[in-house]
Amino acid sequence: MNKAEFNRLSRERVLYLDGATGSNLIKRGMPAGVCPEKWILDHREIMIGLQREYIEAGSNIIYAPTFTANRIKLKEYGLEKETRSMNRELIRLSLEAAEGRALVAADITMTGEQLAPMGTMDFETLISVYKEQITAVAQAGADLIVVETMMSLQESRAALIAAGEVCDLPVMVTMTFESDGKTLYGTDATTAAVVLESLGACAIGANCSTGPDKMMPIISEIAEAVSIPVIAKPNAGLPALNEHGETVYSMGEEDFVAGMQELIEAGASILGGCCGTSPSYIRALSDSCHGKEQMVRKEQLQKTDHRLPRRFLTSERKTLAFNLDSPFMIVGERINPTGKKKLQEELRSGSLSMVLDFAEEQEARGASLLDINVGMSGIDEKDMMLKILDEVTLASSLPLSLDSSHVDVLEAALRKYPGRALVNSVSAERVKLERLLPIVRKYGAMFILLPLSDEGLPANLDEKIALIEMIVQKASELGMRKEDIVVDGLVATIGANKNAGREVLETIRYCKENGLATICGLSNISFGLPERSFVNTAFLTMAIKEGLTMAIANPSQEMLVNAAFASDLLMNKEESDIRYIERMADYQARNPKVDPTLLRAAVSKTDQPARKEEKEQTGIL
């Protein structure tokens, strides 16, 4: 089955998965402490029998017993060299059980070894572990892949990347969430869903974790965020120990099914059971929906299709969701060595302390994203970018804008970045369209569309719009949507083009009317003028009026940021009044009223700014 076939099928109807495997095998004689995969291959008929029971009960997709058949887990039993052959055999077993009456999903999960920097495993090593297993299951004829019981978003990404690089099988991913609604590594359900959908998962959801009742908020969150089918495969309630010291689950078939109905209401359309469930749960579940599988799915899709289009950017732990009328956002511009001698020196010496300070400060001052640019001489830009990603993603929970003029730097950063990044930027230059855009698509990032080409800047607004439309079209041909794009207004300098301001404002208006988010660098507009912050601030205010979505700026510029909050208020954006009042409370706390008499005494004799290198405006002047 390829992805397109899976998408068609999963849009047509509600699908049933199977229930628990391990606990049912134990009941059927599998002893503790053995390698499950080995035992199964030694007791093929027991596994085949269980799977046929699931199919009889209604399962449309059964999970092949390859759950821990990765090289690292098998090594615990000295079986790592059998990885390929065992996976092949296990898939064949399930195909035999299915007899074409159900799809066989190769089952993948975590290896048990942590990724660096917390553990010692390298990200590329993990990808290669998954590639080995997935190559085998694909060769053996698995219909699709399910990556399940994942507690780490980054390990899920590794599995998805691996799958995409060795086969075209559809990949479903389900993660396991703690009672706080986050994974063990702190990722919330929305963030997981956004990242995995954009990276190419064909269905996304939760398994294990809890009973269906407690899974409700997670499934809701995921269903709100994604367009692909949502998977719910909860446990049969909460675990407890019975009088024999065995783990048992609290929820009977009836309550389980009632809970599953709620999850279907919330948007889940691929349904199964995890720990504590058995073929009878799946039977009860499929009976409860019997004959309504297509109607239910149709209603779900109607809801999904009528949502206001939203855009999502994420770090590993947090999602920034926005639409074209959302509060204005600032992309913190400070992590960029251009023109900053001190930062350059630090980076050359290998120190990231300024970078981390800038990250924390910009987050504290209200940045919604951080731009990361390490383009400078005397360092290996790719190495530095990856190093900074490791550190900044720990220091700040903000999503990142990955900013480089080198395609290979962006490729390495996108592969490694554990969230959904904004790529800065894709122009109509040939190398960007032909090399970078497919990479952006592969890693599911959003990108900043820069309307310039190998011929240089557009000569006028018509040319600019033609470039925008051309790049949007190219992205569309690769399967990307308008919601994946943020158009750079391409701000010229008033000193060089008196109409620079109006042209950008018209570009923003055009984009907003055509469903495209926008971004601007502000300061270029005022290059060469005195007291530039007044021009930048007025420009930002007008741009927000015209619909500007975000700007690259220093969030410590009080006047600029206050103007943005006031502009949102005037545009009557959601909660903009509360946000303005809160911002002003922060502002007042940072800027106690100055007694003008004392102020006069504080005026220095010199008219020159004290610092020359970093010309960043930190005050309101």
**Sequential DSSP letters for 58-108:** T-SEEE-S-TT-SHHHHHTTT-GGGHHHHHHHHHHHHHHHHTTSSEEEEEE
- The angle at the Cα of 217, spanning 214 to 221, to the nearest 5 degrees, equals 150
Minimum gap (Å) between residue 591 Cβ and its own copies: 8
Cα 88 from chain centroid (whole Å): 32
- Token pair for 248: 């048992």
- Closer Cβ to its own copies, 39 or 587, answer by number: 587
Minimum gap (Å) between residue 325 Cβ and its own copies: 12
Which residues, other chains included, contact 559 with Cβ-Cβ below 8 Å and sequence gap of 6+? 533, 537, 620, 621
- Closer Cβ to Zn ion, 115 or 275, answer by number: 275
Q: Is 556 exposed, middle or buried (0-12, 13-18, 19+ CB in 10 A)?
A: buried
> How far apart (Å, rounded) are the C-alpha atoms in residues 377 and 392?
21
- Closer Cβ to its own copies, 394 or 529, answer by number: 529
Pick from Zn ion, its own copies, none: which does 354 bind, CB < 5 to 8 A by kind? none
Q: Which amino acid is at 345?
A: E
- Closer Cβ to its own copies, 165 or 586, answer by number: 586
- Closer Cβ to Zn ion, 235 or 269, answer by number: 235
Minimum gap (Å) between residue 464 Cβ and its own copies: 17
Please compute Rg for the chain using Cα positions. 27
Minimum gap (Å) between residue 596 Cβ and its own copies: 7
Pick from Zn ion, its own copies, none: which does 585 bind, CB < 5 to 8 A by kind? its own copies
> How far apart (Å, rounded) are the C-alpha atoms in residues 414 and 197?
15
Minimum gap (Å) between residue 518 Cβ and its own copies: 16
Pick from Zn ion, its own copies, none: which does 530 bind, CB < 5 to 8 A by kind? its own copies
Closest CA to 167 of 125, 197, 131: 131
- Closer Cβ to its own copies, 402 or 535, answer by number: 535
Residues of this chain that interact with Zn ion (CB under 5 A) are 208, 235, 274-275
Which residues, other chains included, contact 5 with Cβ-Cβ below 8 Å and sequence gap of 6+? 170
Minimum gap (Å) between residue 142 Cβ and Zn ion: 19
- Closer Cβ to Zn ion, 183 or 235, answer by number: 235
Cα 35 from chain centroid (whole Å): 34
Pick from Zn ion, its own copies, none: which does 587 bind, CB < 5 to 8 A by kind? its own copies
Pick from its own copies, Zn ion, none: which does 473 bind, CB < 5 to 8 A by kind? none
> How far apart (Å, rounded) are the C-alpha atoms in residues 452 and 471?
10
Q: Are 526 and 483 in contact (CB under 8 A)?
A: no
Pick from its own copies, Zn ion, none: which does 584 bind, CB < 5 to 8 A by kind? its own copies
- Closer Cβ to its own copies, 230 or 522, answer by number: 522
Pick from its own copies, Zn ion, none: which does 545 bind, CB < 5 to 8 A by kind? its own copies
Closest CA to 422 of 362, 375, 481, 485: 485
Minimum gap (Å) between residue 534 Cβ and its own copies: 4
> How far apart (Å, rounded) are the C-alpha atoms in residues 384 and 374?
7
The SS3 assignment for 352 reads coil
- Closer Cβ to Zn ion, 66 or 235, answer by number: 235
Minimum gap (Å) between residue 148 Cβ and Zn ion: 8
> How far apart (Å, rounded) are the C-alpha atoms in residues 363 and 248?
46
Residues comprising the chain, all counted: 621
Pick from Zn ion, its own copies, none: which does 281 bind, CB < 5 to 8 A by kind? none
Residues of this chain that interact with its own copies (CB under 8 A) are 494-495, 498-499, 501-502, 505, 525, 529-531, 534-535, 537-539, 541-542, 545-546, 559, 562-563, 565-567, 569-572, 577, 580-581, 584-585, 587-588, 591-596, 598-599, 601-610, 619-621
Minimum gap (Å) between residue 551 Cβ and its own copies: 14
Pick from Zn ion, its own copies, none: which does 118 bind, CB < 5 to 8 A by kind? none
Minimum gap (Å) between residue 349 Cβ and Zn ion: 49
> How far apart (Å, rounded) are the C-alpha atoms in residues 320 and 191?
9
Q: Are 474 and 433 in contact (CB under 8 A)?
A: yes
Residue whose entry in the numeric block shows the structure tokens 């993948």:
108
> How far apart (Å, rounded) are the C-alpha atoms in residues 230 and 256?
18
Q: Is 139 exposed, middle or buried (0-12, 13-18, 19+ CB in 10 A)?
A: middle
- Token pair for 110: 């975590």
Pick from its own copies, Zn ion, none: which does 601 bind, CB < 5 to 8 A by kind? its own copies
Minimum gap (Å) between residue 323 Cβ and its own copies: 18
- Closer Cβ to its own copies, 31 or 528, answer by number: 528
- Closer Cβ to its own copies, 308 or 603, answer by number: 603
Minimum gap (Å) between residue 520 Cβ and its own copies: 13
Minimum gap (Å) between residue 553 Cβ and its own copies: 15
Name residue 400's beta-bridge partners. 370
The SS3 assignment for 181 reads coil
Pick from Zn ion, its own copies, none: which does 459 bind, CB < 5 to 8 A by kind? none
> How far apart (Å, rounded) are the C-alpha atoms in residues 191 and 314?
6
First-residue to last-residue Cα distance in the chain: 62
Strands 103-108, 319-322: pairing kind: unpaired
- Closer Cβ to Zn ion, 69 or 274, answer by number: 274
CB count in 10 Å sphere of residue 571: 14
Pick from Zn ion, its own copies, none: which does 562 bind, CB < 5 to 8 A by kind? its own copies
Minimum gap (Å) between residue 310 Cβ and its own copies: 22
- Closer Cβ to Zn ion, 64 or 544, answer by number: 64
H or E element at residue 382: helix 381-395
- Closer Cβ to its own copies, 254 or 574, answer by number: 574
Pick from Zn ion, its own copies, none: which does 208 bind, CB < 5 to 8 A by kind? Zn ion
Pick from Zn ion, its own copies, none: which does 256 bind, CB < 5 to 8 A by kind? none
> Mutual orientation of helices 153-166 and 123-140 as an angle, nearest 10°?
50
